[in-house]
A and B are shown apart, each in its own frame.
Chain A
Amino acid sequence: MQSNYKILYRKEVQSFFNSPVAYITLVIFLLISAWFTMSTFFLINESDLRTLFSVVPIVYLFFVPAITMGLIAREKNSGTMEFITTLPFTDGEIIVAKFLTGLTLIGTALAFTLVHLFTLLIIGNNIDVGALISGYLGLLLVGGVYTAIGIFGSAVTDNQITAFLISFLIIFIFFILDKILIFVPGFLGSIFQFLSIDYHLSNISRGVIDSRNIVYFGSMIAFFLLVSIRVLEMRKWR
């Protein structure tokens, strides 16, 4: 007997890759990230993936909400949410399977950017492979947090545009926390810094995989997924 997660996940991924939207978003993601990565590459004649690692989180700002906006909102809108929640799935299984679907798509997008990595490996020398691996791990973790936020944004509404905007807003807040530190008083500063994505990502991107950072990403994902499950359950009591 297959697990419910696997059944749902398989269906989700299958239907996502059946739609042209998947390919369009992927192509846009790759075009933008490639442009920013490779333009400096030719300009300053330097082989460096650091630009990629700093550009992708910005592209994520739009890319992740675009991927996640339909995952739940569309099902609510078309009524299939009623169908799926009256099958023997728990709400948790539904949310987690949707999350994994979103993460798979982001993983797919990241996998395509490996082209840049291989280019550098071939033509460059003196490359820190460890930092590259941890850099990609960092991108995947950030993608995970953003996807969890996107799932939440998609769960609170049945309109995909609204879902996109809500997700974008929340992601953007976490994105700029690190950049507005100079404007906030000291005691808030350390809280803001700890909550900000960039702070934790920068450690990992430098090649330092610290358990504190991993715990941060893990708990962010868990938090937003748990809230999404609660939101989904709220339909019963409205």
Chain B
Amino acid sequence: MIEVRNLVKHYGDVKAVDDISFTVKNGEILGFLGPNGAGKTTTLKVITGYLSPTAGNVFVDDLNVLDDSMEIRKMIGYLPEMNPLYHDMQVYDFLEFVARVREINKNQFRSRLNEVIALCGLNGVVHKNINELSKGYCQRVGLAQAIIHDPEILILDEPTSGLDPNQIMEIRRLIKNLGKEKTVIISSHILQEMQATADRMIIINRGRIVADGTVDALMSDFKGKTRLTLELKNADEAAVKKLQSLQEGVLLSQLQTKDGILSAVLEYPSEIDPREQIFRQIVKNKWMLLEMSRHKTSLEEVFRNLTIEGGDDAK
């Protein structure tokens, strides 16, 4: 089991990760979702021991990254972002090198290599130089490197970035297969990726966790909801905040623009249509209604709204 406890990581003045905590159960595929620069990669780098936390700690079983980084690294297979490889090496030499570090002896290596080749679809490129390979094959080599020692934990940072749709499908299927027996943390900024592979999702934005739950739960949590977007003139923020108490609404965000226009997004269970009441309230307050629109939310939109500027100030 992996437990991230109150993890904080600063780069100078920049808070890349700002006090996040979560656990990953054995055999779970955890999707780590967030826009670029949200702190996903930083978190993964702390778990793999590349960076040290500014505060907080990460526990793997009863080991922690501050004291037992070496032991933890032995348990982890890691595919870093951008998939750095030694491009002047042959695939075979490269995998042999990794296998040696991973304490796989010569006899095991042969059979393990064949397994990994079959698993990652590396047939026919084993004796090629890595710099001759296409990006898709490079990604497979990166994956092969990460799983060659049959690690308990697999950490994959944006494993499908830069691949074409067919390759993406293949890599996803591969991850899904691996996830049957391993604990997998996979990061991405693409939502469909998570829907396709992960059991559970953590959405992270600006260094904080904004949502955590199974993919299905998050889907149903947000799927059956409708959003009401309002644009008002002459309205004040405090009064708009009160609108949410009219019916079971939640004010997701409000934004005051320069020319006195206030735009607000409210969310309601789908069976409720609050438009009439809201309108009456607006008339009562003598606000000018410029726009009122209602639409159902998709998971994609949830993600966008959770991670958009101002999203968590309104909460």
Q: B residues within 8 A CB of A90?
A: 70
Q: If A87-B73, A235-B51 touch, does A80 touch B101 (CB 8 Å cutoff)? A: no
Interface string of B258-288 (1 = CB under 8 A from A): 0000000000000000000000000000000
A4 to B49, CA, bound (A): 18
Q: B residues within 8 A CB of A89?
A: 101
By CB atoms of chain B within 10 A, which of A4, A78, A79, A87 has the most? A87
Residue pair B80, A83 in contact (C-beta under 8 Å)? yes
Q: Determine whether B88 belongs to the interface, using a CB cutoff of 8 Å to chain A.
A: yes
Residue pair A82, B84 in contact (C-beta under 8 Å)? yes
Q: Determine whether B64 belongs to the interface, using a CB cutoff of 8 Å to chain A.
A: no
A236 to B45, CA, bound (A): 9
Name the residue of chain A whose CB is nearest to the CB of B129. Answer: A18
Residue pair A236, B52 in contact (C-beta under 8 Å)? yes
Q: If A86-B73, A87-B98, A88-B70 touch, does A237 touch B84 (CB 8 Å cutoff)? A: no
A238 to B16, CA, bound (A): 12
Within 8 A of A (CB), among B149-172: none
Residue pair B85, A80 in contact (C-beta under 8 Å)? yes
Q: Determine whether B197 belongs to the interface, using a CB cutoff of 8 Å to chain A.
A: no
| CB proximity of A95 to chain B, nearest CB, Å | 16
Name the residue of chain B whose CB is nearest to the CB of A80. Answer: B84
Residue pair A80, B50 in contact (C-beta under 8 Å)? no
Q: B residues within 8 A CB of A79?
A: 80, 82, 84
Residue pair B93, A14 in contact (C-beta under 8 Å)? yes
Interface string of B78-97 (1 = CB under 8 A from A): 10101011111100010001
Size bin of chain A's contact surface: 20 to 34
A11 to B87, CA, bound (A): 13
A78 to B102, CA, bound (A): 22
Q: A residues within 8 A CB of B241?
A: none
Residue pair B85, A83 in contact (C-beta under 8 Å)? yes
Q: Determine whether A7 belongs to the interface, using a CB cutoff of 8 Å to chain B.
A: yes
Q: B residues within 8 A CB of A82?
A: 45, 50, 80, 84
Residue pair B52, A83 in contact (C-beta under 8 Å)? no
Name the residue of chain A whose CB is nearest to the CB of B87. Answer: A78
A115 to B97, CA, bound (A): 35
Q: Determine whether A2 belongs to the interface, using a CB cutoff of 8 Å to chain B.
A: yes
Q: A residues within 8 A CB of B51?
A: 235-236
Q: Determine whether B110 belongs to the interface, using a CB cutoff of 8 Å to chain A.
A: no
Q: B residues within 8 A CB of A235?
A: 50-51
| CB proximity of B92 to chain A, nearest CB, Å | 12
Q: Determine whether A19 belongs to the interface, using a CB cutoff of 8 Å to chain B.
A: yes
| CB proximity of B50 to chain A, nearest CB, Å | 5
Within 8 A of B (CB), among A197-238: 235-238
Q: B residues within 8 A CB of A15?
A: 86, 88-89
A18 to B129, CA, bound (A): 11
Within 8 A of B (CB), among A1-22: 1-2, 4, 7, 11, 14-15, 18-19
Q: Determine whether B100 belongs to the interface, using a CB cutoff of 8 Å to chain A.
A: yes
A79 to B80, CA, bound (A): 9
Q: Determine whether A39 belongs to the interface, using a CB cutoff of 8 Å to chain B.
A: no
Q: Determine whether A190 belongs to the interface, using a CB cutoff of 8 Å to chain B.
A: no
Q: B residues within 8 A CB of A83?
A: 78, 80, 84-85
Q: If A1-B103, A7-B100, A11-B97 touch, does A86 touch B50 (CB 8 Å cutoff)? A: yes
A7 to B82, CA, bound (A): 25
Q: B residues within 8 A CB of A40?
A: none
Q: Determine whether A85 belongs to the interface, using a CB cutoff of 8 Å to chain B.
A: yes
Q: A residues within 8 A CB of B12?
A: 238
| CB proximity of A55 to chain B, nearest CB, Å | 32
A83 to B87, CA, bound (A): 13
Q: A residues within 8 A CB of B70?
A: 88, 90
Residue pair A87, B101 in contact (C-beta under 8 Å)? yes
Q: Determine whether B225 belongs to the interface, using a CB cutoff of 8 Å to chain A.
A: no
Q: Determine whether B48 belongs to the interface, using a CB cutoff of 8 Å to chain A.
A: yes
Q: A residues within 8 A CB of B97?
A: 7, 11
Within 8 A of B (CB), among A54-91: 78-83, 85-90
| CB proximity of B51 to chain A, nearest CB, Å | 5
Interface string of B49-70 (1 = CB under 8 A from A): 1111000000000000000001
Name the residue of chain B whose CB is nearest to the CB of A81. Answer: B84
Residue pair A86, B88 in contact (C-beta under 8 Å)? no
Q: If A82-B84, A83-B80, A88-B73 touch, does A236 touch B93 (CB 8 Å cutoff)? A: no
5 contacts between A and B (CB under 8 A): A11-B89, A19-B88, A78-B87, A87-B73, A236-B51
**A residues lining the B interface (CB < 8 Å):** 1-2, 4, 7, 11, 14-15, 18-19, 78-83, 85-90, 235-238
Q: Sort A-B residue pairs by CB-CB distance and give the 3 closest, nearest first.
A: A79-B84, A236-B52, A80-B84
Known contacts A7-B101, A88-B101; 6 further A-B pairs (Cβ under 8 A): A4-B101, A15-B88, A78-B87, A79-B80, A82-B45, A87-B73
